[in-house]
Structures are given as structure tokens and as C-alpha cells.
Amino acid sequence: MKIGIVNYSLGNVGSVYSAFKFYKFDVVIVNKPENLEDVDVIVLSGVGNFKTAVSKLKQFHFWDKLNDEVIIKKKPILGICLGMQLFADVSFEDGNNFGFGWIKGKVQKIKGNSIRVPHIGWDEVRPLDEKMFKGIINNFFYFMHSYHLIPEDKNVVIATTKYGDLEIVSALRKDNIVGVQFHPEKSQGDGLRIIRNFLETIN
């Protein structure tokens, strides 16, 4: 199984690559869209602005290719942080910006009473899916975001995080599409375990 991490000049590709390499997986950084054809699993990470991410993915011709590989060929994909948010229909960060539309829903700014934005640091994740969180010891993962994805279909939600009076979707799954709002590559041992569990659940 070959894993490809999309490099669209926006995100922490190096640390994600190192996390997958920890388990000696066959992983490559994909710099050209046509090289997505050579991998079995896709990883889309990202840190920053939704609008900029869409622009970069289109600029480097990854946008349409990702649609082909994920929707038509049904290749498994893991979205991390902004990568997961890009799965949604629309984001209201810096205007109205359309995402891939793979997960019906919207991306909105975190709002609530006594809530600090951005949401940065370790926080508890409450799993609803035993397979994805198998072997996890304490369920605390590292977050760094100001926006969160609100899916229309709550059945795609596989984990949540309580942040103030707000319940954030911290992980989701729909068929071959999996996303996590937290950063497994920054979450030490349990984060590495999430990566391993993801790959085990798609086999």
C-alpha cells in the first residue's frame, strides 16, 4: 500500500510525512497531480486559510484530480485540520468559498461563551467509532484551528470535542473519506496510533 501526501505549498507536509514513516509505511510526497494515480491512499493536510487552500489546489491542478481519485476511483483519503474542512460544501472564512462538497455541510468560525479563538492546544476527543480509536489511551489530541466543520448528516461524525459550550466535530467518516480536525502528527503516541488505525480500517 502506497500513501501519497499532497504538497500544495500550504501545510505541514514534512511532519505528516515523518508521522507516517514512523511505522515504516511506503509514503511519498506528491508534488504533481498526475502522481496521485500511483498511490493507493491520499493524505490532505493543511494549516491556514480555506480560500488560499482552494486557490493553491487549483493553481497546482490538484483540485480536479483529487475529485477523480476520491470520488470516481474511490481511493481512501485522510484530511487533517484544514484538509478535513476542505471536504465541506462551503466555508465562511474570508467570504463564501466552495469546498469539494464531499461532505454536505459548512465551515464556520468557532463561537461561544467564554471560548478563546483560535482553539490551540491539547483537548479531549470523545470517540463514537471504536475502530478509528482502537488502542488509544487518553483521547487527548492537539488542536490548532479557528473554524470548524458542521456536517448536515450527523451519521458521518465519529468523534467530537467539547470546547466551552460548543461541540466540535473532531473526526468524521463517509465511505472512503475520513477527516480529523486535530493534528495526529503533533499528538505524540496516540496521534501515531490514529494514523495506524486509519490505514487498518481501510484495508
Q: Which are the catalytic amino acids?
A: 81, 183, 185
Query: What one-letter code names the amino acid at 147?
Result: Y
For the CA atoms of 48, 198, 62, 99, the dihedral, rounded to the nearest 10 degrees, stands at -60
**Please, is 82 exposed, middle or buried when counting C-beta atoms within 10 Å of its C-beta (0-12, 13-18, 19+)?**
buried
Contact 123, 166 (CB under 8 A): no
- Look at residue 17 and give its three-state secondary structure: helix
Query: What one-letter code names the amino acid at 183?
Result: H
User: 10 Å Cβ neighbour count for 16?
Assistant: 28
Cell numbers linked to 116: 478563546
